[in-house]
Amino acid sequence: MGFLDKVPRLEALIERLESAEGLEDLQNVIEELRDSFGVDHMIYHWVNSKGDQYGCGTYDLEWVNRYVQKGYLRVDPVIVGCFQRFHPVDWKRFDWSSKAARAFMQDAIEHGVGNQGYSIPIRGPNGQFAHFTLSHNCNDEDWQTFTDKNRRDLILISHSFNQKALEFQPGRTPESSQSLSPREIEAMTLLATGLSRAQAADQLSISEHTLRVYVESARHKLGALNTTHAVARALNRGLIVI
Amino acid sequence: MGFLDKVPRLEALIERLESAEGLEDLQNVIEELRDSFGVDHMIYHWVNSKGDQYGCGTYDLEWVNRYVQKGYLRVDPVIVGCFQRFHPVDWKRFDWSSKAARAFMQDAIEHGVGNQGYSIPIRGPNGQFAHFTLSHNCNDEDWQTFTDKNRRDLILISHSFNQKALEFQPGRTPESSQSLSPREIEAMTLLATGLSRAQAADQLSISEHTLRVYVESARHKLGALNTTHAVARALNRGLIVI
DNA sequence: CGCCCCCTCGCAGTTTCTGGGGAGTAGGAT
DNA sequence: ATCCTACTCCCCAGAAACTGCGAGGGGGCG
């Protein structure tokens, strides 16, 4: 039975996904998902800008290691393309024109990655970014048919998968956020918009000294080392919005 | 017929949504969606870093104006709560404990917002943030039944809606092409974590002068007035993660 | 009533940031 | 081949921010 004839049952798949009990189990889940959709590979890949990454999926371990070791993260058009997009996208629509990208593609195909691919960008709080990707070996027409048919189910699955992955990801849970006083919020917000302390104080019609007290206070509450750090933390915790 | 008996046809709704031809038409679409689901209100609310906001939905115009004029954007637990979350969330799970939040809620209910609500956070490239929200007047049990039943459809609809809204707002991502270089990202990330320039330079094993060049460069690219501003913008646009 | 937090204001010395300059290498793109 | 970008290093002087010390009034809460 070809992969076009598979009829994945969304309900059952999501139920299984939500019953997952740890990162190891997610690996089992993604293999089951791959089988349910009948494609060659399915991958969840989480990444942040520090270069940390976590992934689970059905690629060869050798390829995964090579990917990490060669720093393909900064070359991979799937990463770059997903980062710029909102909606699911076929790999054909990525920019493969650069030399590095073409070399990467050739290397990938040699390591068992399919010639077709479909990736769903996912974004969470605090700039979290991931993508959920399917890869397969087939012709363009079949792939188009397949992705058209399963697009919505895949969106929902990728969402649930990301939620599960976030749950199991240590250190991604928000710290105990002590709230800021109204004045502190105002002061931090103005600084975050680029005003100097003097300008911000002027805008609030208070002395610069007073404003400084608010900023200091906010810094201490946030456990921040300096103003920039405090603004960054306040933004990250959603305490201020700019 | 109560709102629990409605059987919205996802296919038709999304088809209609994708045929929308402008922001004005999106307003029609959201009213049709509201009627299809049989709830009191449906809202799409887009927010950016500068405090600009765009919304369309079925709230009273008076309430919308009041919301903007009173700066409720900075108080609204729906905004704060969605900003910290990934998955759709019932309003009951937001933090309504602060005095400002309770005053806001009372004001909202007096202006026709329902006592129940369900919000879906949406994030796009470059730190774009929005939420898709339903509000209704009913008891907890009915609302739970309704949201459980329609959760998946609403996720898909909110996605398509956001894509459409993005399409019609090309100016939404004006400086999107101004991405930061790898070194600039590293430098900004370190500053955002509280390090001084000297410490950050040390960590990158470069001279402080060089680091300063990166920071300056990033500042110019981001159109920021100072380092704190630049860090705030980079965080908001999802260019760096801490 | 005392306690704690919030708001407001002040001084002074030290460190850091800002905003100009200039200069050279390497790699990719056109 | 040439241009452009990214990366690395250097100087200087003025402006701004940080650190740590202080003060007092107001409001809510047990």
**Range in A166-180, A220-234, B56-70, B130-144 with the lowest mean pLDDT:** A166-180
Confidence of residue A173 (pLDDT cuts 50, 70, 90): very low
A93 and A19, same domain (yes or no) = yes
A25 and A122, same domain (yes or no) = yes
The token pair at A226 is 């300096």
Establish whether this prediction's ipTM goes over 0.85. no
Residue A113 falls inside a structural domain: yes
Contacts of A162 (CB under 8 A, 6+ apart): A44, A46, A122, A124, A130, A132, B86
- Compute the average pLDDT of residues B173-186: 66
Residue A56 falls inside a structural domain: yes
CATH of the domain at B18: 3.30.450.80
CATH of the domain at B219: 1.10.10.10
Chains A, B: CB contacts under 8 A, how many?
124
pLDDT at site B173: 47
| Residue span of the structural domain in which B31 resides | 10-171
pLDDT at site B156: 96
A30 and A147, same domain (yes or no) = yes
Measure CA B21 to chain center.
22
A191 and A164, same domain (yes or no) = no
Domain count, chain A: 2
A189 and A159, same domain (yes or no) = no
Residue with tokens 């105990």: A176
A105 and A58, same domain (yes or no) = yes
Mean pLDDT across chain A, nearest whole number?
Answer: 87
- Compute the average pLDDT of residues B149-156: 96
B165 and B222, same domain (yes or no) = no
Q: Residue A86 is nearest to which of B125, B193, B194, comparing CB atoms?
A: B125
Burial class (CB in 10 A: 0-12, 13-18, 19+), B31: middle
Which of A229, A233, A237 has the most B C-beta neighbours within 10 Å, making it the best mutation to test the interface with B? Answer: A229
Residue A42 falls inside a structural domain: yes
Residue B177 has pLDDT above 80, yes or no: no
Domain ends where: B171, B194, B211? Answer: B171
A17 and A76, same domain (yes or no) = yes
Whether the CB-CB separation of B138 and B3 falls below 8 Å is answered with yes
Residue B174 has pLDDT above 50, yes or no: no
**AA identity, residue B203:** Q
A66 and A24, same domain (yes or no) = yes
Q: Check residue A60 and give left, alpha or beta (phi > 0: left; psi -120 to 50: alpha).
A: beta
Confidence of residue A170 (pLDDT cuts 50, 70, 90): low
B contacts of A233 (beta carbons < 8 Å): 242
Task: Express each pLDDT in B65-102 by its tens digit.
Answer: 988 887 787 778 898 888 888 999 999 998 887 777 88
CA end-to-end distance (rounded Å), chain A: 53
**AA identity, residue B96:** W
pLDDT at site B79: 86
The token pair at B166 is 């993005």
Residue B20 falls inside a structural domain: yes
Which of A54, A86, A225 has the most B C-beta neighbours within 10 Å, making it the best mutation to test the interface with B? Answer: A86
Residue A172 has pLDDT above 70, yes or no: no
A160 and A219, same domain (yes or no) = no
At A118, give phi and psi (nearest 5°).
Answer: -145, 125
Measure CA A198 to chain center.
38
E-assigned strand segments in B162-202 = none
A209 and A146, same domain (yes or no) = no
pLDDT at site B28: 95
Task: Express each pLDDT in B186-210 by its tens digit.
Answer: 888 889 988 888 888 888 888 888 8
**Range in A64-78, A195-209, B128-142 with the lowest mean pLDDT:** A64-78
Q: How many CB atoms lie within 10 A of CB A37?
A: 20
Whether the CB-CB separation of B127 and B49 falls below 8 Å is answered with yes
Residue B142 falls inside a structural domain: yes
Quick check: A192 CB within 7 A of strand D?
no
Q: Check residue B22 and give left, alpha or beta (phi > 0: left; psi -120 to 50: alpha).
A: left
Residue A51 has pLDDT above 90, yes or no: no
Residue A175 falls inside a structural domain: no
Residue A177 has pLDDT above 70, yes or no: no
Residue with tokens 């887009």: B46
A202 and A112, same domain (yes or no) = no
Residue B138 falls inside a structural domain: yes
Task: Express each pLDDT in A97-147 by its tens digit.
Answer: 777 788 888 889 999 999 999 999 998 886 778 999 999 999 999 999 999
